[in-house]
Amino acid sequence: MQERNYDVLVIGAGAAGMAAALKVAEEGLKTAIVDREPFLGGILPQCIHNGFGVHLFKEELTGPEFAERFIQDVVKSDIDIYLNTTATSMAVHQPVKQVNLCSSEHGVFRINARAIVLAMGCRERNRGNLGIPGTRPAGIFTAGLAQRLINIDGYMPGKRVVIVGSGDIGLIMARRLTWTGAEVLAVVEILPYPSGITRNIVQCLNDFNIPLYLSHIITKIEGKERVEAVEITPLENGAPNYTKTFKVECDTLLFSVGLIPENELTQSAGIKINPETGGPLVDTRLMTSAEGVFACGNVLHVHDLVDWVSDEAQRCGKELINFLQGKTEKIEQGKVIAGANLKYVLPNRYRLGEKNRFSMRSLIVRDKATLVVRQGEKTIRQFTLRHVKPAEMFHVELKQEDLNDLVSNGELLPIEFSLS
Amino acid sequence: MEKEVICLSCPNGCHITVQETSPGEFQFQGAKCERGEVYAYEEITDPKRVVTAVVQTDSEEMPYIPVKTDKPIPKRYINPLLVQLYKQKISLPAKCGQVIIQNYMETGVNVVITRTFPLDLGK
């Protein structure tokens, strides 16, 4: 088998992979980036709507434009690009990591690298994840697949559409379908509040008078060859009230019901996964349980904004450089705990002697929420947050002086975040 | 006439009630700051949106290419613009930022391509 040697291998050439690769290549490290698609950019080229880059570039770009800013830099850099290339397995618990790959151009081959960045992104939850009763006709798509069909391949998935879930991709697709001549009849959301951001509710649903049914679920899919209708039922006190079930005739059903980090490769390599995020457990260096293997972007935890993905990936690249230069090989770290009303806090460790940045997701919807950080019994920091909701990830930074050198049983005391 | 507008100027998302007291005169309620009134005024009198779409090309490798209006365009122009875009055919290669419609209907808005194709990876 053909073997190639690099300092760093980045798996995935989307927003995260490109930003991380650029950062490490800048430092002069010999870097390769692989992607299974025939193009760079990951999911961005199919996200033709605008609203990307507001934080990073201070302007509103479309997905393809945002991707192209990074692609141009990757092309100009010394990074080796392997497209149409799939990573099939890897051995990572050793100083030189081995990744097995296959591509039409190189056949089956191997890349040896001193460090790896996992940047494989995420994939969509689908009908199977929800368990909706009914027949199995054609016309059922995930929202992202429909987006690809329309925006890249130029096919219309259907004419009369019902969308399940009010996540941002579903909302964006409601507008996209309307603008391409389809009729969107309903958006059905199980929760009592929308999962997408307000801007998308206004510009993608309200602009076209598309009804949003909150606290409703799909209780049946009808149709033999093709979807013919769905039954929609309201939830009352958490249970479906079938006396109020109504039917909507449609030929297409789109699912926009959440994303799952894509970690089969990670898991098969024996890297530990955080059940709350679906991504690998990472320490303060964004390093996984395998030394020298880092993770960033949606493979680590699902983001709402690509700007934060790029930001996290650049930070990941910087940590990787420090690690390879031996600056952070042995640093003392304490545990980070997600307490009351928080789904998760990331990274899963903190360190002393510098500022620590954390990303987290709330389990509650609240105005003027209070985030308390405790180290042992002691409250070390308190933040007031204007508005929190599960759909919007937020970030806080702890200063060097916030964190104390408190040790118990030879370990740094854990810090716990809680929201009220 | 009373209308409700959700302000998108910031994440607060104020629900603003707009009342037309006399023709062209409006009263606003529910905005936490002045930007809300400015936003609501435009939403009521002349709402604008950025339009994005895909346009057919002459290439089999890349049958459709994404485009956008380079500024928000008044809503009443959106449907006619889309009809025109769907009739158009673009010959590749195309560059990100390339103008395909200049000053659409004298609105001062251009339609530009948002993806370069083919993109030379040079390696």
Region B107-121: mean pLDDT is 93
CB-nearest partner of A179 from B68, B82, B123: B82
Residue range B107-111: average pLDDT? Answer: 96
The DSSP H or E segment spanning B81 is helix B78-87
- Assign A70 a pLDDT band (cuts: 50, 70, 90): very high
Structure tokens at B24: 């062209």
Q: Which residue of B has its CA nearest to A47?
A: B66
Region A82-104: mean pLDDT is 96
**Which pLDDT belongs to residue B24?**
81
**Which residues, 6+ apart, have CB-to-CB distance to A323 below 8 Å?**
A115, A285, A287, A292, A294, A329
User: Span A350-375, mean pLDDT?
Assistant: 92
Q: Give B74's strand partners.
A: B48
Residue A74: pLDDT band (50, 70, 90) is very high
Arithmetic mean of pLDDT over chain A: 94
For the cut 60, the answer to whether the pLDDT of residue A129 exceeds it is yes
Q: Compute CA distances B76 → A104, A246, B9, whole Å.
A: 49, 34, 22
Q: Tell me whether the omega of the peptide bond preceding residue B66 falls within 30 degrees of 0, making it cis.
A: no
Amino acid at B65: I
Average pLDDT score over residue span B4-25: 82
What residue ranges do the domains of chain A occupy?
2-123+260-331, 126-257, 336-419
Classify A190 as helix, strand or coil. Answer: coil
CATH no., domain A126-257: 3.50.50.60
- And the tokens for A222? 């009808």
Q: Which domains does chain B have, with CATH numbers?
A: 2-45 (no CATH), 52-113 (3.10.530.10)
Q: H-helix or E-strand containing A168?
A: helix A168-179
How far apart (Å, rounded) are the C-alpha atoms in residues A209 and A186? 10
Give contacts of A40 with chain B, Cβ < 8 Å. 119, 121
B45 residue type, one letter: T
CA A292/CA A323 separation, integer angstroms = 8
CA-CA distance, A81 to A74, in Å (whole number)?
9
Instruction: Label the pairing between strands B73-74 and B64-69.
Output: unpaired
Q: What is the mean pLDDT of residues A89-106?
A: 96
Q: What is the pLDDT of residues A325-340, one digit of tens each?
A: 998 877 889 999 999 9
pLDDT at A322 over 70: yes
- Taking Cα atoms as reference points, which of B4, B72, B85 lies closest to residue A60? B72
Contacts of A210 (CB under 8 A, 6+ apart): A174, A178, A184, A185, A186, A187, A204
Q: What secondary structure does DSSP assign to B25-70, as a single string?
A: EEEEES-SSHHHHHHHHHHHH--EE--EEEEEES-SSS-EEEEEES
- Say how far apart CA A225 and CA A39 lie, in whole Å: 34
Q: What is the pLDDT of residue A323?
A: 95
The span from the CA of A114 to the CA of A132, in Å, is 46
Tokens coding A185: 């009849």
Q: Do A387 and B12 touch (CB under 8 A)?
A: yes
If we measure between CA atoms, which residue out of A306, A299, A286 comes closest to residue A46?
A306
Q: Pick the residue with more confidence: A154 or B121?
A: A154
pLDDT confidence tier of residue A277, bands split at 50, 70 and 90: very high
Is the Cβ–Cβ distance between A101 and A34 less than 8 Å? yes
Residue A17, SS3 per DSSP: helix
Closest to A62 (Cβ–Cβ): which among B13, B68, B75? Answer: B68
ipTM over 0.85: yes
Query: What is the average pLDDT value for chain B, to the nearest integer?
Result: 90
Residue A199: its pLDDT value, please? 83
Q: Say whether pLDDT at B123 is over 60.
A: no
Residue type, A67: A
**CA distance to A18, A315, B6, per residue, from A98 (Å):** 21, 24, 53
> Considering only A182-196, A285-299, A403-417, which range has the smallest mean pLDDT?
A403-417
Task: Please check the confidence at residue B88 and state whether its pLDDT lies above 90.
Answer: yes
- At residue A25, φ and ψ (nearest 5 deg) are -70, -35
> pLDDT for A236-250, tens place per residue?
998 999 999 999 999
Q: Residue A407: pLDDT band by 50, 70, 90 thresholds?
A: confident
Return the C-alpha torsion angle A66, A70, A76, A79, nearest 10. -150
Same fold, A2-123+260-331 and A126-257: yes
Q: Chain A residues contacting B, CB < 8 Å?
A: 39-40, 45, 48-50, 60, 62, 64-65, 68, 71, 75, 80-81, 83, 150-154, 179-180, 198-199, 201-203, 206-207, 386-387, 392
Our CA-based measurement puts residue B76 at a distance from the nearest CA of chain A, in whole angstroms, of 12
For A240, residues 6+ apart whose C-beta sits below 8 A from its C-beta are A217, A219, A233, A234
Residue A365, burial from CB neighbour count under 10 angstroms (0-12, 13-18, 19+) = middle
φ, ψ (nearest 5 deg) of residue B83: -60, -45
Of the pLDDT bands very low, low, confident and very high (cuts 50, 70, 90), residue A353 is: confident
DSSP string computed for A382-399: EEEEEEEBTTB-EEEEE-
**How confident is the model at residue A125, as a pLDDT?**
92
Q: Do B116 and A80 touch (CB under 8 A)?
A: no
At A354 the pLDDT is 87
Residue B122: count other Cβ atoms within 10 Å of its Cβ. 7
Q: CB distance A48–B11 less than 8 Å?
A: no
pLDDT-derived band at B11 (thresholds 50, 70, 90) equals low
At A65, which amino acid appears? E
Whether CATH 3.40.50.720 fits A2-123+260-331 = no
Angle at CA A245, nearest 5°, toward A239 and A246? Answer: 150
- For residue B68, what pLDDT band results from cuts at 50, 70 and 90? very high
Q: For residue A120, what pLDDT band results from cuts at 50, 70 and 90? A: very high
